[in-house]
Amino acid sequence: MSENKEQAGFSENVDRLFDRAVRKMNLSEGLVEKIRIVNSTYTVRFGVKLRGDICTFTGYRSVHSEHTEPVKGGIRYAPNVHQDEVEALAALMTYKCALVEVPFGGSKGGLRIDPREWDNRELEQITRRFAYELIKRDLIHPSQNVPAPDMGTGEQEMAWIADQYHRMHTTDIDSRACVTGKPLNAGGIRGRVEATGRGVQYALRDFFRYDEDVAVAGLTGSLGDQRVIVQGLGNVGYHAAKFLSEEDGCKIIAVLERDGAVINENGLDIEAMRTYISENNGVEGFEGGTFEADSDKVLCADCEILIPAALEGVIHSGNADQVKAKLIIEAANGPVTADADEILRNKGVVIIPDLYANAGGVTVSYFEWVKNLSHIRFGRMQRREEEARHMMLIDEIEKATGKNLNEEFKKRYIQGADELTLVRSGLDDTMRGAYADMRKLWHLNRESDPSMDLRTAAYMLAIKRVADSYKSLGL
Ligand code: NAD
């Protein structure tokens, strides 16, 4: 991958994008500064006895804004996690939650570790110890700070964290709400694992609902007509690629992973590729396409939609000019630097920004948190009652017409909404609502202000909501 030689760190990039939006708003300098700054970052170094010696780990939990609580944000496991990265991600969480109207402030955590170097038992010990350090300072707490999975973590780590919290707060009836992204049997919710990828799919569906937006990107046809390149086939990238290819008919013509890329102009078999990666730790040797070691070349290859779903800063001033995609959807956090953003906008590339594109995860995390606090599965009370009422209507229609309705239709119509259906409906509604708000602001200003784009609109909406919240607190 070509190296990002820009001097600006991740936080500075987020700040620059924030500043661009703020310049178009009428807010006092003091309020802008209050919204921008990271409230606090806690650094912890702890030792765990492993493999006959003590291993020391460094972790972070950063709180960007507590304008509403709890604060929310994933915990990332990666070998190069650092404070600037965690703070930038915490800020993005504040704006993301405000944009999709999820009532959380922004936070993020990270542990400097390569999870692939440790076995399951060791990871459990490390995760429990990290969680212990955060829990005893209320940096994991159902009403104050609620983590979730991010890069390098998943359901298993969240289950360990929830259990650790419960062990330290045995009488807290709401203890399961201390973390989201848990497995179902530990208080999770259906649809959370795939939620971020599902959200990326819904975001693209929203974009293609508006001919005007499709035309601005210089695209034609429907979502299913587009050729897509995906970087990173992890949780987010895999689910987005799977749903877009299986349900919308998109061709995923290339997938980039750590060791290179695989290309197939006829479309890759995402399921087979995911299995291959998990067995071989990379894509080289996958027989469903042609291997290319130079990932950066593939990142800039000809396609309609590019989905960076791995890391921050992968599209930068050094390669933005060569990007051929007409539409970039930021499934990862911060994959396009502020410099690259400028270059791409001038080229006419439309970017669906991270704070909207990957908000599916936090949206469904919100549903999980509500489920944990209400101690009941969504749909449990009304599902069968709904089915009985639908059945009554069908019976009446059949009696009145003397005809039997189509069996397949009856089956689908009668079905009451279960938890997964409700989660998908809530996610779809959230993504549609936020996109409609964003595009309205974008189009209102686009003609008169060429620097107006979807990202700026998203930031403006988010910043206004955070500002209103601070104002109502009397600040
Ligand atoms: P993950 O660890 O499941 O997957 C990351 C994938 O990227 C892995 O397959 C990894 O091998 C690949 N990768 C790593 N380095 C790469 C490189 N240099 N080139 C190509 N591929 C590379 O992580 P994830 O949870 O899918 O998160 C991915 C991104 O999405 C991150 O930016 C994260 O912050 C963001 N995100 C995740 C969630 C979530 O719910 N998991 C929610 C919102 C945003």
Which pLDDT tens digit goes with each residue over 229-272? 999 999 999 999 999 999 999 999 999 999 999 999 999 999 99
pLDDT digits (tens, 9 = 90+) for 332-371: 999 999 999 999 999 999 999 999 999 999 999 999 999 9
Asked if 199 contacts 300 with a C-beta cutoff of 8 angstroms, the reply is no
> What is the pLDDT at residue 81?
97
The two beta strands, 251-257 and 327-329, are: unpaired
Domains located in the chain, CATH noted: 40-186 (3.40.50.10860), 195-360+431-470 (3.40.50.720), 383-416 (no CATH)
Residue count (the chain): 475
- 303 within ligand 1 shell (Cβ under 6 A): no
**Distance from first CA to last CA of the chain, Å, rounded?**
45
Would you place residue 4 in the very low, low, confident or very high pLDDT band (cuts 50, 70, 90)? low
Ligand 1 geometric centre to CA of 220 (Å): 29
Would you place residue 186 in the very low, low, confident or very high pLDDT band (cuts 50, 70, 90)? very high
3 state SS of 128: helix
pLDDT digits (tens, 9 = 90+) for 435-473: 999 999 999 988 899 889 999 999 999 999 999 999 888
Average pLDDT, integer, range 384-396? 96
Q: Is the pLDDT of residue 387 over 60?
A: yes
Ligand 1 geometric centre to CA of 278 (Å): 14
Lookup: tokens for 50:
């492993």
> What is the pLDDT at residue 204?
98
Would you place residue 222 in the very low, low, confident or very high pLDDT band (cuts 50, 70, 90)? very high
**DSSP letters of 311-326?**
-SS-B-TTTGGG---S
pLDDT digits (tens, 9 = 90+) for 70-105: 999 999 999 999 999 999 999 999 999 999 999 999
Ligand 1 geometric centre to CA of 74 (Å): 12
Q: Find out whether the peptide bond into 103 is cis, omega within 30 degrees of 0.
A: no
Burial call 345-362: b when 16+ CB within 10 Å, e when fewer: beeebbbbbbbbbbbbbb
> Which residues make Cβ contacts (< 8 Å) with residue 260, sequence separation at least 6?
282, 283, 284, 291, 292, 293, 294, 295
pTM greater than the 0.75 cutoff: yes
Q: Is the pLDDT of residue 3 over 60?
A: no
Q: Is the pLDDT of residue 427 over 70?
A: yes
Q: Is the pLDDT of residue 5 over 70?
A: no
- 358 within ligand 1 shell (Cβ under 6 A): yes
Gap between the Cα atoms of 334 and 363, Å rounded: 19
The number of angstroms, rounded, from the C-alpha of 338 to the middle of its chain's C-alpha atoms is 20
- 333 within ligand 1 shell (Cβ under 6 A): yes
Phi, psi of 17 (to 5 degrees): -70, -35
Q: Is the pLDDT of residue 8 over 80?
A: no
pLDDT digits (tens, 9 = 90+) for 140-149: 999 999 999 9
> What is the pLDDT at residue 450?
87
Phi, psi of 249 (to 5 degrees): 85, 10
Catalytic residue numbers, as ranges: 108
- 63 within ligand 1 shell (Cβ under 6 A): no
Over the chain, what is the mean pLDDT? 96
What's 141's DSSP letter? B
Average pLDDT, integer, range 116-128? 98
Q: Which residues pair with 57 in a beta bridge?
A: 46
The preferred substitution site among 89, 100, 150, 243 for testing ligand 1, maximizing ligand atoms within 8 Å of CB, is 150
Q: Is the pLDDT of residue 409 over 90?
A: yes
